[in-house]
Amino acid sequence: MEDSEPERKRARTDEATATGSRSETEDEDDEDYVPYVPLRQRRQLLLQKLLQRRRKGAAEEEQQDSGSEPRGDEDDIPLGPQSNVSLLDQHQHLKEKAEARKESAKEKQLKEEEKILESVAEGRALMSVKEMAKGITYDDPIKTSWTPPRYVLSMSEERHERVRKKYHILVEGDGIPPPIKSFKEMKFPAAILRGLKKKGIHHPTPIQIQGIPTILSGRDMIGIAFTGSGKTLEDSSPLLRCALCIGGMSVKEQMETIRHGVHMMVATPGRLMDLLQKKMVSLDICRYLALDEADRMIDMGFEGDIRTIFSYFKGQRQTLLFSATMPKKIQNFAKSALVKPVTINVGRAGAASLDVIQEVEYVKEEAKMVYLLECLQKTPPPVLIFAEKKADVDAIHEYLLLKGVEAVAIHGGKDQEERTKAIEAFREGKKDVLVATDVASKGLDFPAIQHVINYDMPEEIENYVHRIGRTGRSGNTGIATTFINKACDESVLMDLKALLLEAKQKVPPVLQVLHCGDESMLDIGGERGCAFCGGLGHRITDCPKLEAMQTKQVSNIGRKDYLAHSSMDF
């Protein structure tokens, strides 16, 4: 009995110990207790966390690309309902953030375009080698004795601005001369006024209202206006006696005219360089240089010839540049040859004439020739037909002759005498149709043409503007019909669509379905379209002309110069 009592006490002690350990375990379990969260709520919380992480990661990547400092979490607003923020406020905040991201994308695009434009810009100024070597620069324009009438000078600048606004004249530069609205007020001699009246020219056009006073003041000038606006008359305003010097014609006949004395020489760069190198012509006293279609002359590889011609001038010259299409790249380069230039722009550079009704039609390649005869019925003759290839010009010419149409053709494969005869026959009305490549798209003036047909779409939108500019000249109305099909480059068709919309012309369904992605990116930087080629349907980052030029440059790397005359030329 005595031995059993202690055992009973031990059992009670063990029971107390076990009870204490159970209570401690229960306390620990209470501390680790996690309240139950419904499955739907847990999924929503997990989804919010994942979305926040994704947004934060995307924002950090965007900031790294733009080079900005990383932002904190204070801009992050948790998705889903919140007690202190309404859904409208959340929507407005997200909308503002999206617009901010869009603005940063535009700034990034502008910086990229500026870098591209700088990389393709010509490093040397448009000056002669002699002027660059000696560091010759001119700070002031040429002085002339001409001044505007006193009552014009006494008018306020606000009045001059009203005149410019009325005629849609945009000017840039310092000390711009006032616009003058009549040839008599420009102080032209009576003989020139009579000559202008005989030509049927009674009032100056908008480009002449501002351009001629600028020229007579001795200022360098860049004149940009649509085709048929009177630019060519303007750059020949001091014209009394002239000589024509072009390749393919007799040098002897041209020199006979020059020896009799001329006030102005109209020449192509190649023939003028030939006469200068042979010392048959001197520019020692020449003070006036005009480049018509200046952008095409610089863009087509005549830049070296122009520099050579500049080297024959003995002193300062007044330089005038004219064109209907002049992209920003060409304008910036051309200004390096000018002294405090005045830029006069009537309408946008590269815009089509508003006097031309543009009709674009989808025609299959095999149906073009037959449909061409139908298009000739739209208007009475004369009609001008353009084609891209010389073979197409010859084929169209032969087809029209077989159908009994009085037609002539010109292209680069024909000599100058053939071209001259064809143009004279067409101008005099002996022939009804002129078929040509782009050699006839610039500089030629046929006032009676009512209809231009583009047998195919040119590879560059600038050539299209010059082509359709052969009609609708001097205030007359003309029609331009263009054939397009699947063979046309989509980038050029986008430029064509934008050009039609700008001129408020009818856009065919085949062009309406074309889209270039985010069209708001076409207007960034205060300038619409491409700064390299002037096309409205793309930016310089997607310019096919720039891409083709760069591809050509890369393909020429490492090639032997087969045009070199000796080892000294390498």
- Cβ–Cβ under 8 Å, residues 320 and 215: yes
- Enter the tokens of residue 384: 């001008």
- Please confirm whether the linkage preceding 382 is cis (ω < 30° from 0): yes
Calpha distance 494→521 (Å, rounded): 14
pLDDT tens track for 211-251: 999 999 999 999 988 777 776 765 555 456 888 888 888 88
Work out the end-to-end distance of the chain between its first and last CA atoms, rounded to an integer number of angstroms: 128
CA angle 454, 457, 461 (to 5 degrees): 110
* Cβ atoms of residues 485 and 364 within 8 Å: yes
CA distance 320 to 333: 14
Q: pLDDT at residue 357 above 70?
A: yes
**Interval 498-525: pLDDT, tens:** 899 888 899 999 998 887 655 555 666 5
Who has greater pLDDT, 202 or 123? 202
Kindly tell me the burial class for residue 343, based on how many C-beta atoms sit within 10 Å of its own C-beta (0-12, 13-18, 19 or more): buried
DSSP for 20-34?
Answer: HHHHHHHHHHHHT--
Most confident of 169-178, 327-336, 527-536: 169-178
Question: What does the DSSP assignment read for 485-515?
Answer: -TTS-HHHHHHHHHHHHHTTPPPPHHHHT--
Q: CATH number of the domain at 356-514, out of 3.30.70.1290, 3.20.20.140, 3.90.78.10, 3.40.50.300?
A: 3.40.50.300
Place of tokens 């009512």: 450
- Evaluate if residue 429 carries a pLDDT over 50: yes
129-346 and 356-514, same CATH topology: yes
CATH number of the structural domain 129-346: 3.40.50.300
Q: How confident is the model at residue 262 (pLDDT cuts 50, 70, 90)?
A: confident
Q: CA geometry: angle at 182 spanning 178 and 186, to 5°?
A: 60
How much is the pTM? 0.68
User: In the 8-state DSSP scheme, what is residue 322?
Assistant: E
**In the chain, where the domains are located:** 129-346, 356-514
Tokens matching residue 177: 């001369």
Judge whether 341 and 222 are in contact, CB under 8 Å: yes
CB 450 within 8 Å of CB 471: yes
Band of the pLDDT at 202, cuts 50, 70, 90? Answer: confident
pLDDT tens, 8-66? 445 444 554 545 555 555 555 555 666 777 888 888 888 888 888 877 777 776 666 55
Instruction: Return the H-helix or E-strand segment holding 254.
Output: helix 251-259
